[in-house]
């Protein structure tokens, strides 16, 4: 029996020399200490056939070998984990590992900047559901069921059929305007609301993404008129795009504002002179208008006493215009490609 133990020791010593990797070490451990077929386990089983008087002595020798094997394997594990040698010793003079530092996504940066600008002129941020009722997204905004204007919002529907008599179906909110009547329903006047949030549409191409952000301003008070709208939009444009930029309001049509406008901004490339990018000196920014009396009524506000204006723009598009970013595909912003994202 003593011979067998010695042979096993030699076998182990030889096997240790072959260990180069963590995988080798694991298989060495299995081979000698494995519970079922480990060489040492097998040897221990043989003790059963040894005459009684010799069991204690052989048991001791075999246990000693087991201890040696366990210690050696744990030493090897340490060495592999600290290849600099010296087990747990550390070389404090080695340069440290630099961890990559992240930053806010372009949309988050833009949202912070936009929120700050409007906060200084008294707009308060509010939040509304992303999964919204058809009522707030369309019906209360003067777009009754089956009205063709709804088509422009290419909506994601959660329910196939209306599930509530007044509210209709649930949708992924296709524009931040869905916050307008919700804000009015709070019953607090005057209103100076800023809603910046995610919006969803069934659109995807070089200039559209299915999830994007809009920021929407809503002001309601006595004697609010178009000059207030123009002044507010101009203030934002000069702060966000630069003091040299100007705006113009161009007639447009939205069901929830009357009159409605599209806001153009003077081109930053040619300074409004007309160039390849803008053609005639102006770039189209987004929609705005005076809140329609029917929308005020839906929010429980008397249109004879109060009036208001609203505007709702795309965050990503505004930011791309500001940075003069020559990006020909808006989808790049959401592809998580660090080569693109790290440029902002």
- Smaller CB distance to ligand FA5: residue 150 or 201? 201
| 161 CB neighbour count, 10 Å cutoff | 7
Which CB atom, from 168 or from 312, has the smaller least distance to ligand FA5?
312
Q: Is 8 in the site for ligand FA5 (CB under 6 A)?
A: no
When asked if residue 264 is in the footprint of ligand FA5 (CB under 6 A), the reply is no
Which residues does 342 contact at the CB level (< 8 Å), separation at least 6?
none
Query: Toward ligand FA5, which CB reaches closer, 64 or 127?
Result: 127
Nearer to ligand FA5, 177 or 197 (CB): 177
The two three-digit tokens of residue 101, written as one number: 């530092």
Could you say whether residue 317 binds ligand FA5 (CB under 6 A)? yes
The token pair that represents 29 in the structure block: 């451990």
Give the DSSP letter string of 69-121: HHHHHHHHHHHHH-TTSSTT---TTSPPPPPPP----HHHHHHHHHHHHHHHT
Name which of 24 and 284 has its Cβ closer to ligand FA5: 284
Convert residues 158-197 into a mask of x (bound to ligand FA5 by CB under 6 A) and - (unbound): -----------------x-x--------------------
If 0-12 CB within 10 Å is exposed, 13-18 middle and 19+ buried, where does residue 284 land?
Answer: middle
How are strands ordered across the β-sheet holding 124-125?
124-125, 191-200, 211-221, 307-314, 282-291, 257-266, 247-254
Identify which range of 7-15, 39-47, 265-273, 309-317 contacts ligand FA5 by CB under 6 A: 309-317
Residue with the CB atom nearest ligand FA5 in the bound state: 314
- 136 scored as a contact of ligand FA5 (CB under 6 A): no
Q: Measure Cα distances from 161 to 51, 99, 154 in Å.
A: 86, 51, 17
Residue 212 interacts with ligand FA5 (CB under 6 A): yes or no: yes
Residue 253 to residue 251: CA distance in whole angstroms: 7
β-strands 191-200, 124-125 pairing: parallel
Least distance CB 115 / ligand FA5 (angstroms): 17
Rounded Cα distance, 41 and 43, in Å? 5
232 binds ligand FA5 (CB under 6 A): no
Q: With binding defined as CB under 6 A, does residue 214 bind ligand FA5?
A: yes
The one among 32, 128, 311, 319 contacting ligand FA5 by CB under 6 A: 311
Residues 277-306 that bind ligand FA5 (CB under 6 A): 286-289
Residues that bind ligand FA5 (CB under 6 A): 152, 175, 177, 201, 203, 208-209, 212, 214, 216, 254, 257, 286-289, 310-314, 316-317, 330
């Amino acid at each position: 029996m003593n011979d067998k133990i010695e042979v096993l020791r030699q076998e182990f010593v030889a096997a240790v020399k072959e260990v180069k990797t963590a995988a080798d070490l694991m298989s060495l451990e299995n081979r000698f200490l494995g519970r079922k077929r480990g060489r040492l386990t097998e040897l221990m089983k043989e003790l059963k056939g040894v005459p009684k008087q010799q069991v204690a002595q052989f048991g001791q020798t075999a246990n000693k070998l087991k201890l040696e094997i366990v210690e050696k394997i744990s030493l090897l594990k340490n060495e592999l984990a600290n290849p600099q040698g010296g087990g747990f010793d550390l070389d404090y003079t080695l340069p440290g590992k630099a961890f990559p530092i992240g930053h806010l996504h372009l949309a988050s940066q833009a949202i912070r900047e936009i929120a700050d600008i409007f906060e200084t002129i008294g707009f308060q941020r509010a939040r509304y559901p992303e999964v919204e009722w058809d009522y707030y997204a369309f019906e209360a905004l003067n777009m009754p069921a089956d009205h063709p204007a709804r088509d422009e919002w290419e909506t994601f529907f959660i329910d196939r059929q209306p599930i509530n008599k007044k509210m209709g179906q649930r949708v992924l909110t296709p524009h931040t305007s869905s916050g307008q009547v919700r804000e009015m329903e709070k019953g607090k006047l005057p209103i100076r609301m800023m809603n910046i949030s995610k919006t969803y549409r069934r659109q995807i191409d070089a200039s559209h993404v299915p999830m994007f952000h809009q920021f929407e301003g809503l002001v309601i008070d006595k004697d609010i008129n178009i000059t207030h709208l123009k002044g507010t939009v101009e203030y934002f444009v000069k702060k966000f795009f630069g003091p040299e930029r100007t705006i113009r309001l161009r007639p447009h049509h939205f069901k929830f504002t009357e009159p409605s406008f599209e806001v153009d901004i003077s081109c930053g490339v040619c300074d409004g002179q007309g160039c390849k990018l803008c053609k005639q000196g102006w770039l189209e920014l987004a929609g705005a208008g005076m809140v329609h009396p029917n929308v005020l009524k839906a929010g429980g506000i008397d249109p004879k006493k109060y009036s208001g204006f609203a505007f709702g723009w795309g965050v990503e598009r505004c930011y791309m215009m500001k940075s003069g970013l020559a990006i020909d595909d808006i989808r790049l912003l959401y592809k998580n490609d660090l080569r693109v994202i790290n440029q902002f």
